Amino acid sequence: MFSMMEAARLEALHLAEDPASGLKAVIAIHNTRFGPALGGCRYLAYADEQSAIGDAIRLAQGMSYKAALAGIDHGGGKAVIIRPAHLQSRAALFEAFGRFIETLNGRYITAIDSGTSSADMDCIAQYTNHATSTTSEGDPSPHTALGVFAGIRATAQARLGSDDLEGLRVAVQGLGNVGFALAEALHAAGVELLVSDLDAGRVQLAVEQLGAHPITSDALLTTPCDILAPCGLGGVLNAQTVAHLRCAAVAGAANNQLASPEVADQLEARGILYAPDYVLNAGGLIYVALRHRGEELPAITAHLAQISRRLTEIYAHAQAEKRSPARVADYLAEGLLYRT
């Protein structure tokens, strides 16, 4: 466990168990140089406890990089709750998690993530002030999608020479809250949509409402398109899948899209422009951070514009240095987090 923490440069790892509610939770705090750690809470089934801990550590590191390049006064953290096989009361479980967060004295602020909802955050908020994306604060998903859409336009400008998306073919993998909102924005911009999701109902909705073309999840990665937008879970880009991509760029909302750092170099070698995921999908983090400190929507929307500007800056560095944008983004983030 300590070797995992050292490799990720993690500040702290907190574990909690509450037999009465069934809570088994991990909170990873990666970096608090710029402020308290902020990051979502996942509620998922894991193969084992080590997998849950590894997930929390990896995601917390990504949140630190995301927060640093988004220019908000927060560090990165992540929480994972291992979903029990048998649950008596979901509310009681999240209330217990709220009490756990309160013991950290403000070093970590939670938010919704895979498997959690604003209703869950409401339960947590009964026992701590260090929770955001509650029912009153609102769902950050539309703002994540808004930032990704702006980033896709910046990516099209950098790779295809224009930020006008009309007529482009964009393949959206994953139609959850963010993926579907992104698909709606792309449709409004005149994009030809290719979509896939494990939920056939979400695919059918995109076909009926957005005129999307349904593609199986396996086939989507090898289907010709201008831009591939991974919007599901991470790790979709590996040595095998990248070898068969038929797109000009990859720009999507999913966290941890690269199975390893070397995959970024493989994309670069193939001439496929990669939008670093934690830069592109920072809209949700920006929204929850600014809402939590009381900012109004116009200020939040103005801050979201920094996503495309930062991405354009990274693309310029990458082109000048002949390096992957992912490597450039990591270098810039690490400079802010670790170098004086």
Helices (H) and strands (E) in the chain, counts: 14, 11
- Give the CA-trace dihedral at 209, 298, 154, 213, to 10 degrees: -10
Amino acid at 265: D
φ/ψ (deg, to 5) at 272: -100, 115
Amino acid at 334: E
DSSP string, 104-158: TTTSEEEEE-TT--HHHHHHHHTT-S-B-S-TTT--SHHHHHHHHHHHHHHHHHH
Distance CA 143, CA 149 (A): 10
Q: Say whether 98 counts as a known binding-site residue.
A: no
Q: Say whether 328 counts as a known binding-site residue.
A: no
Q: Which of 24, 66, 78, 322 is catalytic?
A: 78
Q: Say whether 175 counts as a known binding-site residue.
A: yes
What is the distance, to the nearest Å, from the Cα of residue 54 to the centroid of all Cα atoms in its chain? 16
Q: Say whether 176 counts as a known binding-site residue.
A: yes
Q: Say whether 238 counts as a known binding-site residue.
A: no
Is residue 78 part of the annotated active site? The answer reads: yes
> Of 188, 258, 272, which is closest to residue 230 (Cα–Cα)?
258
Q: Say whether 172 counts as a known binding-site residue.
A: no
Catalytic site positions: 78
Binding-site residue ranges: 174-179
Q: Could you tell me which residues are annotated as the binding site for NAD(+)? A: 174-179
